[in-house]
Amino acid sequence: MKRVGITFLALGAVWAAAMASAATTVTLNVVQIFGTIDPAKVTDYTGYMAAVNLYDGLVTVDKDGAIQPLLASSWEASPDATTYTFHLRPNATFHNGAPVTADDVVYSVKRLLAIDQGPSYLFKGVLGPDSVTASDAHTVVFHLQKVFSPFLATVPLIFVVDSKTVQANVKDGDWGQAYVADHDVGSGPYMLESWTRGSEMRLKRFDNYALGWGKDPIDNLRFVVTNDEATVRSLAASGELTMTSEFQANETYTALAKMSRFRVVEQPTGTAFYLKMNTQVAPTDDLHVRKAIACATDYATIRTTIYPGDALAGPLPAVFKSDYLDTLKEPSFDLNCAKDELAKSAYAGKGPIPLTFTYVAGASFEEEIGLLMKSNLEKVGFKVSLDPEPWNRITEIASKVSTTPNVTEVFFGATYASPDSMFFTQYDSAASGTWSSMEWLNNPDVDKMIADARATTDPAQQAAIYKKLQQTIVDLQPDAFLLVQKVRHAMDKCLTGYNYVPVQSFDYNFHNYSWTCGN
């Protein structure tokens, strides 16, 4: 009987699809390869683009950074903020039709902690393997080991996997890593259709998605991997491309804006662009050298000509309104200041100071910034070697102090909607060894302030700590603070619903988009 029902449902879907004539396909380019789609291993922007479409968390984040229900329709916290109870939506199913239960959530958390990659570092000392329990089929309880004030903001990163399918595919106690690496075991709005590593990924719409579908949904997604500007423009000209990445050169946006089909959408973001300086190796281990580099940075040219953005005064973008220290001075370009600082450093007077400078190979605006920096830095007494590297190589060299370059151009956006994400992930010594912490700051004062902010639940007290922390970091100058990114996409005028979301690439959740030109 049930099977008949499903058959009818399927027939209905086919009929509906036929009535709606051609399915809508959105083709967009991404500039980096999808490293992994395993939600327990995803760390970067591109990985989350896939994860957020394939998987659902208990909750998610909207454009204002507020927590919204997803698999959990409601939740409550205990007064001491150590116990969180989530109530699951009863109708949610995985792509294979199995219902999403509390056991799946418990398994997903255990798996995340056991694999110990991706966002698991956030839960060190907060969640243990037995911290999460299922009190009934649709109720999950998280018992935190200590107060962790940004906890709710991190929950959207816990994606729920189908525990039965994963368990059936475990090999040698690998928690199904080999299987989940290229199979989708989620309940998200889209399903994996095909994936050619390094060139493209196709997803198709999951009809029975728990949140349902509005009018004119996007049926198929096609991510094309290329950072070549000419390819993007020719894909756009041929009518194939629906939406560009947000990392194109100025010239590409201008060219696409001239095609009548496209509009350029621009929104402020919580993503900052840094020159991350390795504070543990010569010569950037010297504070004066770092200050000299910051002074020799031509912020205005970078922000207006090379890569449009807003000014950034410290480690935290201004979108975190209540925690933002607004007394910080905007950095300015001053070669005399750079010379003075360099003269004070331990490396002064020994001839040109060698400096390694790395950026993502093939990203033309990053190369332009590199050339601009080299030109100015060599005027004040550095000898700069520009080393463009592919992104996967950068993530690799970032894992060791000795291989981390003196200076690296890195974008970092909040992984979860809390200033803690900006501070902990980039500056805490417990989070070092990744591309987001190439400063290797390892400063006990900084670590302590981050921990203190995590342990308080009083927003005012938290804001006070964060403000002091911003000043401390600015004084240590582990970065030159280039700009706050303005997200820009050239997209087809028919594609609507885009909104910047201040968490990773959650703005790529295509459940929120629609195709408004009809068929």
Partner 1 sequence: MSDLALSPSATPDESSRHRAWRRGWYRFRRNPAAVAGLVLVVLVVVAALGAPWLAPSPESAGTFVNFGERHQPPSLHHLFGTDNVGRDVFSRVLYGYRVSLLLVVFVLGLSVPFGVLLGLLAGYYGGWIETVIMRITDIFLAIPALVMALAITAALSPSLMNGMIAISLLWWNWHTRLIYTTVHALRHEEYVEAAKIAGASDAHILFREILPNCISVISVKVTLDAGFVILIGAGLSFLGLGAQPPTPDLGTMVASGANYLPEDWWESVLPGLAILFAILGFNLLGDGLRDLLDVEVS
**Amino acid symbol at 154:** T
Q: Is 377 helix (H, G, I), strand (E, B) or coil?
A: helix
Torsions phi, psi of 76, nearest 5?
A: -145, 155
Both tokens of 424, joined, read: 């902990």
We find the least distance from the C-beta atom of residue 229 to partner 1, in angstroms, to be 4
Order of strands, edge to edge, in the sheet holding 25-30? 25-30, 220-225, 200-205, 190-196
With CA atoms as reference, report the closest residue to 138 among 76, 72, 77, 209: 72
Both tokens of 24, joined, read: 């809508």
Order of strands, edge to edge, in the sheet holding 407-413? 309-310, 479-492, 262-277, 407-413, 353-360, 382-389
Both tokens of 123, joined, read: 């839960």
Q: How many CB atoms are closer than 10 A to CB 310?
A: 15
We find the least distance from the C-beta atom of residue 364 to partner 1, in angstroms, to be 5
We find the least distance from the C-beta atom of residue 264 to partner 1, in angstroms, to be 16
Cβ proximity to partner 1: between 244 and 505 the closer is: 244
Q: In angstroms, how far is the first alpha carbon of the chain from the final one?
A: 36
Cβ proximity to partner 1: between 295 and 503 the closer is: 295
Q: Which of residues 346-375 bind partner 1 (CB under 8 A)?
A: 361-362, 364, 367-368, 370-372, 374-375
| Contact between 386 and partner 1 per CB under 8 A | yes
**Amino acid symbol at 393:** R
Q: Looking at 52, 210, 249, 465, which residue binds partner 1 (CB under 8 A)?
A: 249
* Range list of H helices, 84-137: 102-115
Count of residues touching partner 1 (by CB under 8 A):
25
Residue 453 region, left (φ>0) first, then alpha (ψ -120 to 50), else beta?
A: alpha
We find the least distance from the C-beta atom of residue 359 to partner 1, in angstroms, to be 10
Q: Which of residues 452-471 bind partner 1 (CB under 8 A)?
A: none
Half-sphere exposure of 230 (CA within 13 A, CB side): 1
- For the chain, state the CA radius of gyration: 24
If DSSP states are collapsed to H, E and C, what string results for 393-457?
A: HHHHHCCCCCCCCCEEEEEEECCCCCHHHHHHHHHCHHHCCCHHHCCCCCCHHHHHHHHHHHHCC
Burial of 311 (0-12, 13-18, 19+ CB in 10 A): middle
We find the least distance from the C-beta atom of residue 92 to partner 1, in angstroms, to be 44
With CA atoms as reference, report the closest residue to 128 among 110, 107, 115, 104: 110
We find the least distance from the C-beta atom of residue 360 to partner 1, in angstroms, to be 11
Span interacting with partner 1, options 142-150, 270-278, 381-389, 408-416, rule CB under 8 A: 381-389
| Contact between 96 and partner 1 per CB under 8 A | no
Span interacting with partner 1, options 64-72, 131-139, 223-231, 501-509, rule CB under 8 A: 223-231
Q: Which of residues 251-290 bind partner 1 (CB under 8 A)?
A: 251, 255
The helix/strand count (H/E) of the chain reads as 16, 18
User: Using alpha carbons only, what angle is made at residue 148 by residues 119 and 434, rounded to the nearest 5 degrees?
Assistant: 30
We find the least distance from the C-beta atom of residue 491 to partner 1, in angstroms, to be 20
Alpha-carbon gap, residue 41 to 163, rounded angstroms: 16
Span interacting with partner 1, options 21-29, 135-143, 218-226, 299-307, rule CB under 8 A: 299-307
Both tokens of 293, joined, read: 């580099």
Q: Looking at 99, 388, 433, 497, which residue binds partner 1 (CB under 8 A)?
A: 388
Cβ proximity to partner 1: between 98 and 361 the closer is: 361
Cβ proximity to partner 1: between 147 and 264 the closer is: 264
Q: Which of residues 306-335 bind partner 1 (CB under 8 A)?
A: 306
We find the least distance from the C-beta atom of residue 380 to partner 1, in angstroms, to be 12
| Contact between 233 and partner 1 per CB under 8 A | yes
Q: Is 131 helix (H, G, I), strand (E, B) or coil?
A: coil
Q: Looking at 228, 240, 326, 475, which residue binds partner 1 (CB under 8 A)?
A: 228
We find the least distance from the C-beta atom of residue 404 to partner 1, in angstroms, to be 15
| Contact between 229 and partner 1 per CB under 8 A | yes
Cβ proximity to partner 1: between 218 and 296 the closer is: 296
Q: Looking at 230, 260, 336, 444, which residue binds partner 1 (CB under 8 A)?
A: 230
We find the least distance from the C-beta atom of residue 421 to partner 1, in angstroms, to be 33
Cβ proximity to partner 1: between 7 and 375 the closer is: 375
Span interacting with partner 1, options 18-26, 60-68, 344-352, 380-388, rule CB under 8 A: 380-388
CA distances (Å), origin 178, targets 54, 80, 182, 339: 17, 40, 8, 53
Cβ proximity to partner 1: between 152 and 384 the closer is: 384
We find the least distance from the C-beta atom of residue 369 to partner 1, in angstroms, to be 10
Please confirm whether the linkage preceding 283 is cis (ω < 30° from 0).
yes
Cβ proximity to partner 1: between 300 and 517 the closer is: 300
| Contact between 395 and partner 1 per CB under 8 A | no
We find the least distance from the C-beta atom of residue 349 to partner 1, in angstroms, to be 22
We find the least distance from the C-beta atom of residue 228 to partner 1, in angstroms, to be 7
Question: Which residues are at the interface with partner 1 (CB under 8 A)?
Answer: 228-230, 233, 249, 251, 255, 301, 305-306, 361-362, 364, 367-368, 370-372, 374-375, 378, 384, 386-388
